[in-house]
Amino acid sequence: MRRFYITTPIYYVNDHPHIGHIYTTLVADTIARYRRSRGDQVYFLTGTDEHGQNIERAAQKRGIEPIELADEVVARYHSLWQAYGVSHDDFVRTTEARHHQGVVEMVRRIEAQGDFYTSHHEGWYCSSCEAFYTDKELLPGELCPTHERPVERRSEENVFFRLSKYQDALLEWYDSHADCIQPESRLNEVRQFVASGLRDLSVSRSQLDWGIPFPGREGQTVYVWLDALTNYISALGFGRDDAMDLFDAYWQGDGTRVHLIGKDILRFHAVYWPAFLLSAGLPLPSQVVAHGWWLQDRQKISKSVGNIVRPDELVDTFGIDSLRYYVLRDMVFGQDASFSDEGFIDRYNSDLANDLGNTASRMVTLSRRAFGDCLPPTGSRALAAAAEEHLAAYHEHMESYAFQRALESLWKLLADTNQFLVAHEPWKKIKNPDALGEVADVLWSGLEAVRLVAAALLPFMPRKAPEVLAALGFADGEGQTLEWGGLPTGTPLEALQPIFPRIDKKAYLADAVAPASTADSAKPSVQETAVQDASSGPKTPAADAGAAKEAPAEAASAADATPRIDINQFFETELKVAVIEAAEPVPKSNKLLKLTVEIGEPTKRTVVAGLAKAYAPEDLVGKQVVVVANLKPAKLMGVESNGMVLAASEGGKPVLLHPQVTVPPGTQVR
């Protein structure tokens, strides 16, 4: 049995948990649950980082002791993780005695190697990072490169760690372990940083009381990062001779050790931590996996842009598993993403309420009607090949942390299932006794596909996926196989209550924003967004909306007056489904985005679209859209566009059209 150790960063206690912290932990939880489902022996650690100047200052501001502040925030984390169904095995606090013992042992080992020395130190200090920066690293105006806040000049006597000594060993590690830093772009970034030359690292502070006293170095406190990083092994018993079992099993053994982190703390995990471990003669992590950031531009909160961020309310209203699904489905792992209420609701309605919920409920209802409130009496392998293909892709993507792709693979199976149902139309045949054999085969296969999807969703939605399985007659989510054929035949089926009731998006968003916007009354119309240019294009979105607002009745009759076209004229327009693979602003344009799209052709296409005012580029990556594929190329702001993306225009803003279920790129639209 493979041992798998997964950790989250330990969170600072001077801040209340927000969506960024929640995200890291939810991803780690999904990985832990997935590995358990594959039969691994998993140990999942999270915790809190409680020492340092920031925490000391935050406590001072409130007139309480740092430990009181820490206790308060820790209690919040505990209840949060419980509410979110986080399945961690341990929660470590850096103020615990067991952690203290681990840090003392770490320092002892590094000291024994002769890798510490004392020296005078002067530099730019960011107290938010708890790190020194050089002149070169600062942003203009003497700002911290991470926090963009002013840094302070500091001069002190510190203990230094001989980081430079480990430069070659680190480069050797990166080069000999291709997947030690994920995604690969991060590895290149780290490699470049190390190859450009490492300076020794100051690992103590003389002006800090709230921390672990540096063993053997009077007046010095252990640098918070040396302290914090050691949590990954102190929690396993490192430094306590009587409690080393977990350490031996999960850190010394040949299992896998994964640190999941945000990209902001990559250097600490991919450079400093391995160097400390090398010095201490300890094994290195197997993988450091860095994800991107959730962006929330509170300045731009608006209904039409759809970026109102109310995760707490969303969770209260639609449940935690829906949020788990949304954050894992919508973030292209490793890249930044924007959190929005609107994105959440769209995802929920299309994927959960429609594709999963409706598909399951339609088949359960049909099966009950045709087979006396039971599952079909016989099984078949009609969708087995599709299921095997999509599940193989699911596993492959889960192994490489491409969660959005893993979920897409499951939704491809749902799309195949729907197509299969449409092709066989069991609803038309259930009253015909001669066709009941076929109906049984079709419904059983469809329901088995839904079972497989629900079973594969267990790591993502530990509460809702079992509800889908319960609807198929399983008492709980336990013991599900991801092999074709796990659904029984002929067993009783209960009537299905909606598991994912549809959200009324308009009502929810209207409730979220003061009703100042007049855009509501604008009549929606289909409009092209790969505009030539606002000035030369046929109609601007604003013109469309304005006309509709002022005179809806006239607009209707004007539509009537538009000359009708023959169906063959319509077929001259080649509409295809495309997947957006990359998106970036067109320089000097506040309206245009340059999209790279896959439309089932040997090479990708560039399409320029007027979407910038309504969509952030990172929100578009991975989305399926409809493009006009046989347009003549046109240059827009100097970029050649080979197609046009279709969107509805609501209130003057483009609203992209997406297929209701995921279909292969290049699929014709008609």
Residue 452, phi then psi, degrees to nearest 5: -65, -40
Q: Are 458 and 406 in contact (CB under 8 A)?
A: no
Q: Are 622 and 595 in contact (CB under 8 A)?
A: no
Choices 19-27, 311-319, 460-468, 469-477; region in contact with ligand MSP by CB under 6 A: 19-27
Q: How far is the CB of 154 from ligand MSP (least distance, A)?
A: 20
Binding to ligand MSP by residue 636, rule CB under 6 A? no
Q: How far is the CB of 186 from ligand MSP (least distance, A)?
A: 13
Nearer to ligand MSP, 30 or 231 (CB): 231
Nearer to ligand MSP, 6 or 10 (CB): 10
Instruction: Give alpha helix (H) positions in 17-65.
Output: 19-37, 53-62
Question: Segment 348-377, which members bind ligand MSP (CB under 6 A)?
Answer: none
Binding to ligand MSP by residue 247, rule CB under 6 A? no
Q: Shortest CA distance to 229 belongs to which of 208, 264, 259?
A: 259
Binding to ligand MSP by residue 11, rule CB under 6 A? yes
Q: Which member of 4, 5, 6, 23 binds ligand MSP (CB under 6 A)?
A: 23
Q: Which member of 187, 203, 265, 592 binds ligand MSP (CB under 6 A)?
A: 265
Q: Are 93 and 70 in contact (CB under 8 A)?
A: yes
Q: Which member of 31, 110, 163, 229 binds ligand MSP (CB under 6 A)?
A: 229
Question: Segment 284-323, which members bind ligand MSP (CB under 6 A)?
Answer: 293-294
**Structure tokens, 667:** 């699929």
Choices 170-178, 257-265, 388-396, 455-463; region in contact with ligand MSP by CB under 6 A: 257-265
Binding to ligand MSP by residue 21, rule CB under 6 A? yes
**Structure tokens, 567:** 């169906």
N-term to C-term CA, the chain? 51
Choices 205-213, 256-264, 538-546, 660-668; region in contact with ligand MSP by CB under 6 A: 256-264
Q: Shortest CA distance to 597 belongs to which of 613, 576, 611, 616?
A: 576
Residue 255, phi then psi, degrees to nearest 5: -75, -170
Nearer to ligand MSP, 261 or 421 (CB): 261
Residue 403, phi then psi, degrees to nearest 5: -60, -40
Q: Are 465 and 474 in contact (CB under 8 A)?
A: no
Element (H, E) at 466: helix 464-471
Nearer to ligand MSP, 20 or 541 (CB): 20
Q: Are 622 and 335 in contact (CB under 8 A)?
A: no
Q: Are 575 and 670 in contact (CB under 8 A)?
A: yes
**Structure tokens, 35:** 């590995």
Binding to ligand MSP by residue 238, rule CB under 6 A? no
Q: Angle at Cα 443 formed by Cα 440 and Cα 449, nearest 5°?
A: 135
Chain-centroid distance of CA 19 in Å reads 11
Q: Angle at Cα 160 formed by Cα 158 and Cα 162, nearest 5°?
A: 170
Q: β-strand 605-609 against 593-598: which pairing, if any?
A: antiparallel
Chain-centroid distance of CA 182 in Å reads 14
Binding to ligand MSP by residue 382, rule CB under 6 A? no
Q: How far is the CB of 337 from ligand MSP (least distance, A)?
A: 9
Q: β-strand 131-133 against 116-126: which pairing, if any?
A: antiparallel
Q: How far is the CB of 13 from ligand MSP (least distance, A)?
A: 8
Instruction: Give alpha helix (H) positions in 113-209.
Output: 167-176, 184-195
Give the Cα separation of 7 and 259 in Å (integer): 5
Nearer to ligand MSP, 157 or 264 (CB): 264
Choices 63-71, 204-212, 258-266, 646-654; region in contact with ligand MSP by CB under 6 A: 258-266
Nearer to ligand MSP, 20 or 376 (CB): 20
Binding to ligand MSP by residue 261, rule CB under 6 A? yes
Q: How far is the CB of 46 from ligand MSP (least distance, A)?
A: 10
Element (H, E) at 653: strand 653-656
Give the Cα separation of 245 and 88 in Å (integer): 18
Q: Shortest CA distance to 34 belongs to which of 457, 474, 451?
A: 457
Chain-centroid distance of CA 525 in Å reads 32
Query: For residue 396, what are the contacts with CB-CB under 8 A and spacing of at least 6?
Result: none
Binding residue count for ligand MSP, defined by CB under 6 A: 18
Nearer to ligand MSP, 183 or 376 (CB): 183
Q: How far is the CB of 108 from ligand MSP (least distance, A)?
A: 20
Q: Are 366 and 431 in contact (CB under 8 A)?
A: no
Q: Are 606 and 595 in contact (CB under 8 A)?
A: yes
Active-site positions read 18, 21, 126, 129, 144, 147, 300, 303
Give the Cα separation of 37 and 480 in Å (integer): 9
Nearer to ligand MSP, 294 or 411 (CB): 294
Choices 7-15, 158-166, 515-523, 565-573; region in contact with ligand MSP by CB under 6 A: 7-15
Nearer to ligand MSP, 9 or 643 (CB): 9
> Counting beta carbons within 10 angstroms of the beta carbon of residue 53, is it exposed (0 to 12), middle (13 to 18) or buried (19 or more)?
buried
Q: Is the preceding peptide bond at 587 cis, omega within 30 degrees of 0?
A: no
**Structure tokens, 350:** 């299309």
Q: How far is the CB of 50 from ligand MSP (least distance, A)?
A: 9
Choices 18-26, 137-145, 190-198, 446-454; region in contact with ligand MSP by CB under 6 A: 18-26
Binding to ligand MSP by residue 527, rule CB under 6 A? no
Nearer to ligand MSP, 12 or 238 (CB): 12
Binding to ligand MSP by residue 81, rule CB under 6 A? no
The site string for ligand MSP over 594-633 (x = CB under 6 A, - otherwise) reads ----------------------------------------
Q: How far is the CB of 6 from ligand MSP (least distance, A)?
A: 13
**Structure tokens, 121:** 């130190």
Q: How far is the CB of 533 from ligand MSP (least distance, A)?
A: 36
Binding to ligand MSP by residue 251, rule CB under 6 A? no
Q: Which member of 20, 102, 237, 477 binds ligand MSP (CB under 6 A)?
A: 20
Binding to ligand MSP by residue 73, rule CB under 6 A? no
Question: Segment 209-228, which members bind ligand MSP (CB under 6 A)?
Answer: 228
Binding to ligand MSP by residue 12, rule CB under 6 A? yes
Nearer to ligand MSP, 23 or 223 (CB): 23
Q: How far is the CB of 86 from ligand MSP (least distance, A)?
A: 14
Distances (CA, A) of 446 to 20, 379, 432, 459: 37, 10, 20, 22
Question: Segment 47-66, which members bind ligand MSP (CB under 6 A)?
Answer: 49
Nearer to ligand MSP, 21 or 591 (CB): 21
Residues that bind ligand MSP (CB under 6 A): 9-12, 20-21, 23-24, 49, 228-229, 231, 261-262, 264-265, 293-294
